[in-house]
Structure 1
């Protein structure tokens, strides 16, 4: 199997990110809960997409591209981080976003402007419409002498998935240094690539750990995640090694994708007031709440340390109000 360091990759983030036990929260819930702070990766306001972009934009550079496209909702953290990384690399960035959620000039849309991205909204619920627009725009740019690199929603491709294989390697090293052994790796699942990387990474680095995705959208991630993980393994000239019970999906979507859930607000406040950590209300906040509810229901068994992957998204706190039940 090819070593992941043999693949082209840019150095965009500041890694490894912090990893530590949440002492106050662990005491409250009677279980050791650790956090991997990928919101502190050193780019913009941080987030999981930087790890994916290290591989994706390396591929774009290798292909001679000078423009990058991507998509997502109006407040997409992935889109904002793509704009930030493109700016750092001197690349043009065009964001073709769904006209869904908060479209006023707030939150991530302010940051998109700061990074010099061109933003266009599309009134559609189907990403295929946007991918077709990307193809048309690519043809226009080609006539002007530019070469575009399209990145699907969330950067969740086989190549992008490798970013979280690297993350699990970090976790394994940090866990060893902390004399702990992760039993569960838990993350938000919005497009599937992060959770897929955790699944492949765990099979390689932490074979005793189980991966749990908390779906913040209602896509069939039970199928999407293993497919992405298997595709990423093929890039390493290997196969995805699976064992029974190594992956589970649960869903905590609430009123809808990218829509805050009133029942989550107390959990966000509890973490902020206990550990000083901010979660956004539509991705990490839903995943955090979902994890704690599962813990209360006994879904993680009676023993074993939990590791929550903080995938960023704090800018959404400046775009929307936190609802209350």
Structure 2
């Protein structure tokens, strides 16, 4: 296996991020519940995309790119964090977002503007149309002497997933120092790359732990996640095969992607009151709500710790009603 530290990587985040026990939550459910605070990674309002961008933008820089194109929904955390990281590196960010232009600037759109990103709204049926628009704009810039890097939705590529293999390695060290044995790792799944990295990372550094992704959209993550994990394993020159039952996808989509579920609000509010931790209604709120429901129903086997990976997204709280 290759050493992750030997791969080209730009130090964009402040790591390690905190890893600690949620005392009130653990008492409520009679189970040790820990949190990995990747919302506190030191860039913008934090989030999981920074670990991916450290590898993806290192590759872009190595390729001589001066412009970064990416996409997502109107309130995309990935797009805002890409803009933030690109600005730090002296690169131009062009965000081609899937949605209608309304003239409103709230939530992540405010951050996009603060980081100097060029933002385009495209009312498209599919992301294939969006990628076509990104390629068209990149070709226009190329004719002006610039070189663009196209990063797909969520930065979910095999190389991006390596960032979350590294995250598992990081909190494995933290757990060992705290004397914690991990049985379950749970996170939101919006494009698949983070969960893929957690899956491969668990197979390498936490054998026996089960990874559960909570889908917040209707994409076929049962296929997407293992494929991305296999691609990351190829980059690291390691085996990707695991044990039966070490990975599961569950869903908490509700009315649709980026549409808050009213039933999640009580869980979002409880974590804010009990622990002072903010969750967004698009990703982390849906994932944490599902985790709590699984704890309530006794669906998480074993007596080891459960780790919730907080993937950020707080800006969405300032852009939509919780319901």
TM interval, shorter chain, is over 0.9
- Does the CA-based 8 Å contact 1:36-1:310 persist in structure 2? yes
Distance 1:102 1:205, change over 3 A: farther
SS of the residue corresponding to residue 20 of structure 1 reads strand
- For 1:80 and 1:100, the matched residues in 2 are separated by 17
Q: Is 2:290 the partner of 1:290?
A: yes
Which 10-residue stretch deviates more, 293-302 or 281-290? 293-302
Structure 2 gaps, min length 5: none
SS of the residue corresponding to residue 212 of structure 1 reads strand
SS of the residue corresponding to residue 149 of structure 1 reads strand
Which residue does 2:200 correspond to in 1?
A: 200
| CA-based RMSD | 1.1
- For 1:238 and 1:19, the matched residues in 2 are separated by 27
Cα offset for 1:138?
Answer: 1.2
Which residue does 2:56 correspond to in 1?
A: 56
SS of the residue corresponding to residue 71 of structure 1 reads strand
Which residue does 2:316 correspond to in 1?
A: 316
- Does the CA-based 8 Å contact 1:26-1:33 persist in structure 2? yes
Cα offset for 1:301?
Answer: 1.6
Which residue does 2:265 correspond to in 1?
A: 265
Which residue does 2:183 correspond to in 1?
A: 183
Which residue does 1:106 correspond to in 2?
A: 106
Deviations 1:133-164 (CA, angstroms, capped at 9, x unpaired): 11111111111000000000000001000000
Map 1:58-77; keep pairs closer than 5 Å: 58-77=58-77
SS of the residue corresponding to residue 194 of structure 1 reads helix
- For 1:66 and 1:144, the matched residues in 2 are separated by 12
SS of the residue corresponding to residue 289 of structure 2 reads helix
SS of the residue corresponding to residue 278 of structure 1 reads coil
Structure 1 gaps, min length 5: none
Cα offset for 1:321?
Answer: 1.4
SS of the residue corresponding to residue 166 of structure 2 reads helix
Which residue does 2:211 correspond to in 1?
A: 211
Which residue does 1:19 correspond to in 2?
A: 19
- Runs (4 or more) in structure 1 with deviation over 4 Å come to 100-103
Cα offset for 1:102?
Answer: 8.3
- For 1:161 and 1:74, the matched residues in 2 are separated by 23
Which residue does 1:140 correspond to in 2?
A: 140
TM-score (norm 2): 0.98
- For 1:11 and 1:256, the matched residues in 2 are separated by 35
SS of the residue corresponding to residue 211 of structure 2 reads strand
Cα offset for 1:2?
Answer: 1.2
Which residue does 2:120 correspond to in 1?
A: 120
- Does the CA-based 8 Å contact 1:75-1:101 persist in structure 2? no
Cα offset for 1:82?
Answer: 0.1
SS of the residue corresponding to residue 185 of structure 1 reads strand
Q: Report the count of equivalent residues.
A: 323
- For 2:318 and 2:254, the matched residues in 1 are separated by 20
- For 2:308 and 2:102, the matched residues in 1 are separated by 27
Distance 1:81 1:260, change over 3 A: same
SS of the residue corresponding to residue 294 of structure 2 reads helix
- For 1:102 and 1:56, the matched residues in 2 are separated by 31
Which 10-residue stretch deviates more, 286-295 or 110-119? 286-295
SS of the residue corresponding to residue 250 of structure 1 reads strand
